[in-house]
Chains A and B, each alone.
Chain A
Amino acid sequence: MDILTSLAIVAFAGLIHASFQLSVSVLTLLSGHAIGAKKSQGRVLRMTSSYTLGAAVMTLLVLCFVCLIVLHIFGTTVPLLVWALACGLVAGIGIAVWLFYYRRRSATTELWIPRSLATHLHNRSKATHDSAEAFSLGLTSVIAELVFIIPTIVIAALTLLGLPGAWQLAGIAIYTVVSSLGLFIVWALIGSGASLARIQKWRVENKHFLQFSGGSALLVLGFFVYVSKVVATVTGAF
């Protein structure tokens, strides 16, 4: 794969990551509790900024960690079997997103996560009073969604390892920024004083679209990488 195609795959994987909603849900809750507790607009902005930064930092760390693991086990030449397995994982999670991402009987944005974890995140967002706590909540929210984001991170890591050193750094930055786009948008909306109810209503009205597009995009990503890497190598196209 050439550099441009590799970076496009990384950006697309980041965009799929951005369509997942757990971090956005926690950000909505965090800002709702902070505004409701009569905290100043400046303090709310600091807390939401710290939260967003925490989520971005954890995404960066997880991506680097997966890159390091793959590099340690396989070196820079990853076997085709691993690529094929990663593509299968991406496709499987894509179907799981279609089926399980939102709870079926819920009229709101209730996610797949166990209720005990949802209650914990809810309580933590309520108990968060300063920027440091908000930062750690951002870190935790990425960990909580690991099941669904790991395929995009694995594909991004495998793709990045095939790039020259400087482009690897660019790719990591692209993935981190693109995967945090949803958070940046909600952060900007909250900062500009948009109503949380309107944000939440938009999320509820469009949740099936986000679910379908997220699952479909994972299938497309898995298929594209499989064809452009595994099939192309086996048939000698590269």
Chain B
Amino acid sequence: MSEGGPITLVVKNGARRHPEEFNKEKLHSSLVSTCLSSGAPTGHAESIARRVVDEVLIWLESRPEVTSNDLRRVAAKYLKTYHPDASYLYEHHRGTL
């Protein structure tokens, strides 16, 4: 994590790629994008994304390294509380094809 806390590394899909530092802006924008795709208005999407990112940050506090799949699964779990349709899309977006 950034902002002075401990750094969490995200291991991407595919072993050949180097782990990268967790980027909360990236998570936020992907959540906003999914909420918009599910029909949420822009303001509501931003608000949901902020809350989910905060919950994910708490979950990350004790974890020095996570996989991108874990991150997606956990974010989808928190997102389900606020927008079940968006959560469904977020969790399964790689399985559409």
Contacts and interface: CB of A to CB of B under 8 A. Distances in A.
Interface of A: 22, 25-26, 28-29, 31-33, 35-38, 106-111, 113, 118, 121-122, 193, 195-198, 200-201, 204
Given A32-B37, A35-B36, A38-B42, A196 B89 contact: yes
B33 A25 contact: no
Majority secondary structure, B binding face:
helix
Given A36-B33, A36-B34, A197-B86, A108 B95 contact: yes
A118 B86 contact: no
A36 B97 contact: no
A198 B36 contact: no
A201 B89 CA distance: 9
Interface string B26-68: 0000001110111100100000000000000000000000000
Majority secondary structure, A binding face:
helix
Contacts, number: 64
B97 A200 contact: no
A38 B36 contact: yes
5 contacts: A25-B96, A29-B97, A31-B37, A108-B96, A196-B37
Nearest to A201: B88
A111 B97 contact: yes
Q: Which of A31, A108, A110 has the most CB of B within 10 A?
A: A108
Nearest to A109: B96
A177 to B, nearest CB: 25
A22 B73 CA distance: 25
A31 B93 CA distance: 13
Nearest to A110: B95
B71 to A, nearest CB: 18
Given A31-B37, A32-B37, A200-B92, 5 more contacts: A29-B93, A107-B92, A109-B97, A113-B97, A193-B39
Given A28-B96, A196-B89, A197-B85, A35 B37 contact: yes
Given A35-B37, A37-B33, A38-B36, A108 B42 contact: no
Contacts of B94: 122
A110 B97 contact: yes
B73 to A, nearest CB: 13
Contact of A32 (B32, B42, B89, B95): B89
A200 B34 CA distance: 13
Contact of B89 (A107, A109, A200): A200
A25 to B, nearest CB: 5
Nearest to B39: A195
Contacts of B33: 33, 36-37
A113 B95 CA distance: 12
